[in-house]
Chains A and B, each alone.
Chain A
Amino acid sequence: DIQMTQSPSSLSASVGDRVTITCRASQDIRNDLGWYQQKPGKAPKRLIYAASNLQSGVSSRFSGRGSGTEFTLTISSLQPEDFATYYCLQHNSYPRTFGQGTKVETK
């Protein structure tokens, strides 16, 4: 099974900050990675697919990079609505695996 190691598990930031979250895969997953945002009591929402493709309707302040085993999600200028938990998901093989999540909290 492919293990996804996401870091940090939490971070504190202010509105306007640039935020970067990292996911590392235990083996090469090409660019088969997505990023999701989840707010309390809500379903996850996809932000990025295939490592770097922005989901339609998602703000361009979100961007994804990487391939192989190392991936990043960057929020260029954190907005109040961005405080949430973020997950990566590898869709290269089964079983599908998520990262442990990164909770973005207000400083």
Chain B
Amino acid sequence: QVQLVESGGGVAQPGRSLRLSCAASGFSFRTYGMHWVRQVPGKGLEWVAVLWSDGSKEYYGDSVKGRFTISRDNFENTLYLQMNSLRAEDTAVYYCAREDYGRLGRDFYYYGMDVWGQGITVTVSS
């Protein structure tokens, strides 16, 4: 079945780095854009980053721009989030999610995130 499984979370000190992974299965990973979304415990959802299916474009939220890097390996069906210069406010549950899309002829239409991983906890604390 279609599945996303995050790993790599844990505790890191402020200023240090952590890399999250998201293993995809059950669908053609290389044809989908992929996102990271995070949620501070007890708070709302915050979009973090997106990477195009072929890796050609990426966008970031303002709070992580310049510190986080999204990447993917379409042979290993895996999405990554490299998190550098971590801050206490990066403490959250991180979800990877798939971008739903449709195609009509040569035109693509995008419909937001349809499949989500179970989430992985990142705690930034000294």
Query: Which residues in A have some Cβ–Cβ distance to B below 8 Å?
Result: 1, 32, 34, 36, 38, 42-46, 49-50, 53, 55, 87, 89, 91, 94-101
Question: A98 contacts B95, CB within 8 Å?
Answer: no
Contacting B50 at CB < 8 Å: which of A42, A45, A96?
A96
Using a Cβ cutoff of 8 Å, how many contacts connect chains A and B?
61
Q: Which of B45, B47, B118 contacts A95, CB < 8 Å?
A: B47
Compute how far the CA of A98 lies from the CA of B39 in the bound complex, rounded to whole angstroms: 11
Shortest beta-carbon distance from A92 to chain B in Å: 9
Contact check, B112 vs A91: say whether CB atoms are below 8 A apart: yes
- B59 close to A34 (CB less than 8 A): no
List B residues at the A interface (Cβ < 8 Å): 35, 37, 44-47, 50, 59-62, 95, 100, 110-114, 116-119
Complexed CA–CA distance, A86 and B103 (Å):
28
Chain A binding surface, main DSSP class: loop
Chain B residues with CB under 8 Å of A53's CB are 111
B101 to chain A, nearest CB (A): 10
- Nearest first, the 8 A-B pairs at minimum CB distance are A91-B112, A43-B116, A34-B112, A96-B47, A94-B59, A49-B111, A98-B45, A101-B44
Q: Are B59 and A46 interface neighbours, CB within 8 A?
A: no
CA of A81 to CA of B6, assembled, Å: 26
Q: A38 CA to B95 CA in the complex, in Å?
A: 13
Known contacts A34-B111, A50-B111; is-contact A44 B116 (Cβ 8 Å): yes
